A = this chain, B = another copy of it.
Amino acid sequence: MMSLYSEYFYSNEINQLFSEKETLTQMLRFEGKLALAQAKNGIFPEKSALVIDSFCKNVSLINIDKLKSEIKLGGNAAIPLVKQLTRLVKNIDVEASKYVHLGATSQDVIDTASVLQIQEYLIWLENKLTLLTKILTETTTKHRNTLMIGRTLLQQARPITFGLKTAHWLVRISQIQALLSEAKKRVLVLTLGGAVGSGNQNINKNVQVTLGTFLNLNPPIVTSGIIELATILGMLNGHIAKIAKDVSLLMQTEVGEVFEGVGEGKGGSSTMPHKRNPVTCAAILANANRTPNLVASMLSAMPQEHERSAGLWHSEWEVLTELMMLTAGTVERVIELLEGLEVDKQRMLANLKITKGLIYAENISLALSPKIGKIQAHELIEKACKLAIQQGKHLQEILQEMNIGLIDLDEFFKPENSIGNSLEIVDSILESNEIKL
């Protein structure tokens, strides 16, 4: 993370959560609670554990600069942290200092501290996703009937409603909520296995259970919860980027149907007053160009050697953090985007007209089929369309000239008659989401 863009690609709230101070705080929390858990299970006197835990509550006792410069020696932050902690305790209580980090290994404290940060992160994220689906539900309800053109391969195809589009946005975010909720039990897991993951006399099952309870984490199991989380965040970024992609295209000068809200000076350009730059979309799309490859790094870190890897494990630390931080920025941005979203219904209606009726050709062909046969109907309408394009006329005008014998020809050129089951789909998504809420 370049701090310059810490409020654009990222979320300030979440940036704090992954600061070096906060990481060390969680590592100390692990060490303190480990001592208490061991004492509670009779591994050593509670008195000593209380001394250790008291030092673990104050990260400001740690000389962070010194710690960072010593990481190179042992290859992780746990070794110099435990060294400093032991020294602090020893100055006060030599006996207690013997029990610091007893039987644990670097991976225990590093991975658990990471999970403790994820625990807080997920609370934040789930709250934000609840807000996001709430906004999307409101938008969908509001625009259930807002007519617009549906587009495939960047071409106008047939009418839909804007609510159908946002309902599809909504349902995808809802699915991510479900996946996250399900994955949590595999993510929020204590790591505590000692040197080679087999435990030892000081790291037994009872200690594991007690420490799990203290930290509100599931007892140690081998799990790929962390990778699963990464893939879910990857998908979440994809879904949100789809929203940003659509909005940025709909904001184009030549389309002009939907806009990012205008904050004070937002997206504008004093020298080019007509511009409405999709600056919030740009942040989301930028992040979405990075997150798939962060997931790839997490996946390629999986074939780790033996009982602990030399390098692949180490690469997970920053990659996962970066993925979580970028996702937080993406989520925060899309909420801002949708909260301020401006919809120009008139422009939507106007854009429905720019093909001069051609978007309704298929419907008319279908309506004619029972009367004159599908092939004949198709050929007739095809001919009419060609004429319309050649003469620059509206298809309806051509068809009237051709006198094709459809009553209420007008009705075929009303977008509200061409939206298929859009409203039913919207209602069904809203309903199933309501039940869920």
A300 interface residue (CB < 8 Å to B)? yes
A301 CA to B275 CA in the complex, in Å? 23
Residue of B nearest to A105 (CB): B152
A16 interface residue (CB < 8 Å to B)? no
Q: Which residues of B contact A310 (CB under 8 A)?
A: 153-154, 248, 277-278, 281-282, 285
A160-B196 in contact given A3-B20, A305-B249, A382-B273 (Cβ < 8 Å):
yes
Residue of B nearest to A299 (CB): B292
* Nearest CB of chain B from residue A381's CB, rounded to whole Å: 8
Cβ of B299 and Cβ of A291 under 8 Å apart?
yes
A235 interface residue (CB < 8 Å to B)? yes
- Residue-wise, chain A 382-399 has the 8 Å CB interface mask toward B (1 for contact) of 100110010000000000
* Nearest CB of chain B from residue A284's CB, rounded to whole Å: 7
Q: Which residues of B contact A4 (CB under 8 A)?
A: 20, 23-24, 68, 71, 77
Q: Which residues of B contact A156 (CB under 8 A)?
A: 253-254, 274-275
Interface size range of chain A in the complex: 35 or more
Q: Which residues of B contact A245 (CB under 8 A)?
A: 303-305
Cβ of B2 and Cβ of A303 under 8 Å apart?
no
The stretch of A31-39, A123-131, A137-145, A351-359 in contact with B is A351-359
Of B186, B272, B282, B355, the residue contacting A75 (CB under 8 A) is B282
A267-B75 in contact given A302-B241, A312-B286 (Cβ < 8 Å):
yes
A299-B235 in contact given A23-B2, A311-B248 (Cβ < 8 Å):
yes
Q: Which residues of B contact A164 (CB under 8 A)?
A: 197-198
A164 CA to B295 CA in the complex, in Å? 29
- Residue-wise, chain A 256-294 has the 8 Å CB interface mask toward B (1 for contact) of 000000011111001111111111111111111111111
A selection of 24 A-B contacts at a CB cut-off of 8 Å is A73-B263, A97-B374, A105-B152, A150-B196, A152-B196, A152-B308, A154-B278, A155-B276, A156-B275, A157-B196, A172-B224, A182-B182, A199-B421, A244-B311, A246-B305, A248-B310, A249-B305, A252-B255, A253-B355, A270-B382, A277-B310, A284-B311, A292-B296, A295-B296
Known: A153-B279, A158-B272. 5 other contacts (CB 8 A): A7-B72, A73-B267, A150-B306, A153-B278, A157-B275
- Sorted nearest first, the 4 A-B pairs with minimum C-beta distance are A285-B311, A238-B302, A150-B196, A75-B279
